[in-house]
Chain A
Amino acid sequence: MKTLEEFVALFAELFDDTDPSEITATTVFHDLDEWSSLIGLSIIAMAVEEFGVVLMGDDVKNSVTVEDLYNRIISKA
């Protein structure tokens, strides 16, 4: 299973115009300028590919920080 650090790096890769240094475990990702529901789709795709976990829309919507998202994935793995 991937660590939180590895997850944060994978998460940062989903953004084109956001500097990876801006993204940490405590980042409130919905507040990022580049955030959109299209990136939400990328998160769901990444969770399936890297963790074999199917996240629902509410899992993404109700997560506040990047770490919340990681914890949701881990709880479903």
Chain B
Amino acid sequence: MAFLEFKNVRIAGVSAGVPKNVASNLHPLDDDGVSSEYAPEAFVETTGVLERRISDKLTTSDLCYAAAEKLVDDLGWKKDEIEALVFVSQTADYILPATACILQDRLGLSKECYAEDVALGCSGWVYGLSNVASLLMSGTIKKALLLCGDAKKRAVGPRDPLFGHAGTATAVEFAEGAEGFRFHFGTDGSRYDAIITPDGGSRNQVSADSFKLEEIEGKKMHRMQTRMKGMDVFAFGISTAPMSVKKLAEHYGFDYHDCDYFVFHQANMKMNNMIVKLLKLDTERVPSCMYNFGNTSSASIPLTIVTQLKGKFENKPTKFICCGFGVGLSWGTVAFETNNIVISDLVEVDQMEDRKWI
């Protein structure tokens, strides 16, 4: 049973960066990969995604960088106190090196810094949080940044109207006596092809054929783009997320209904509404940001906290359950309490500083 508990760690703050540019799903552009199967209105009604933030220039690390700078500033943290950085994304800057290494330097962190990339999607924030918590719990490293998100893709192609771009920062610190985090994790690799980008890895190397458009579930896309077995993923989400929340509560002996907020990965509205219904949750305690930001992969939980909960909970003890689930297939649920937490204003990024990258 994949349960984990880490004490003496706490979340100090959360921030999120998104492109300033808004794309509307009611008025799709030529390069939006809209399905021929249904009207834009039907898509918005079913998925709950009216609009999302996208940029053809800003990478995930650009957005995470902007979010991290803002958060570190708001917290008043000194850069040289941050000795660990975990970057969770499936849209890294380069195939190699790890983007976390680039961000160590770009953020001006000390070279005495643990840095790694984690290649997970919708479950990624919860996994990344467990990595960071495990690094901090012994107290030798005191402060860490967890940077999560997905944005600009590896290859140009018709854009999926479900997905938005976002990069987030979660500041986690050693805090003697803190209750910490309780996790439940799971993986089902037998369904690795439920959400997959087939080409561009070493199994199917990139070639001219990788860019030939194919028709997948009514949408035109090539093999460097992510395809999804929508109904299977839907069935997975509505069965696995409630199961994981229940398992966590049962294992640690608490009533999940006592939580103040339930923040689920923002998959799509139909899926999330069903999860809420199956867990019999009070919808007022289940914030959602997909209407304005779409599905933002590993950024969706922190982005929801920043855009929907800022000003509502920072300075009082607040219990959270957060659950991420998706590509892998992979899932994770975490329970924790916050108090005296800093939530930064949403950072809207227009363009990055003029810096030459290879």
> A44-B231, A57-B230, A57-B232 in contact; A38/B274 too (CB < 8 A)?
no
Residue of B37, B218, B235, B274 near A55 (CB, 8 A) is B235
CB distance from B236 to the nearest CB of A (A): 8
Best-surrounded residue of B37, B217, B234, B271 (most CB of chain A within 10 A)? B234
Chain B interface bracket (under 10, 10 to 19, 20 to 34, 35 or more):
20 to 34
Residue of A36, A44, A48 near B37 (CB, 8 A) is A36
| Chain B residues closer than 8 Å to A41, beta-carbon distance | 46, 230-231, 234, 270-271
Query: Is A42 touching B270 in the complex (CB atoms < 8 A)?
Result: yes
Interface of B is mostly: helix
Total contacting residues, chain A, CB less than 8 A = 16
| Chain A residues closer than 8 Å to B277, beta-carbon distance | 49
| Chain A residues closer than 8 Å to B110, beta-carbon distance | none
Which chain A residue has the least Cβ–Cβ distance from B242? A48
Is B29 among interface residues, defined by CB-CB distance under 8 A?
A: no
Chain B 272-303, CB-CB to A under 8 Å as 1, else 0, gives: 00100110000000000000000000000000
Which chain B residue has the least Cβ–Cβ distance from A57? B231
Query: Is B231 touching A40 in the complex (CB atoms < 8 A)?
Result: yes
Residue of A38, A48, A54, A61 near B38 (CB, 8 A) is A38
CB distance from A73 to the nearest CB of B (A): 12
- Complex Cα distance, B235 from A54, in Å, reads 6
| Chain A residues closer than 8 Å to B232, beta-carbon distance | 56-57
Is A18 among interface residues, defined by CB-CB distance under 8 A?
A: no
Residues 218-235 (chain B) with a chain A CB within 8 angstroms: 218, 229-232, 234-235
Q: Which residues of A contact B (CB under 8 A)?
A: 36-38, 40-42, 44-45, 48-49, 54-57, 60-61
Q: Which residues of B contact A (CB under 8 A)?
A: 35, 37-38, 42-43, 46, 217-218, 229-232, 234-235, 238-239, 270-271, 274, 277-278
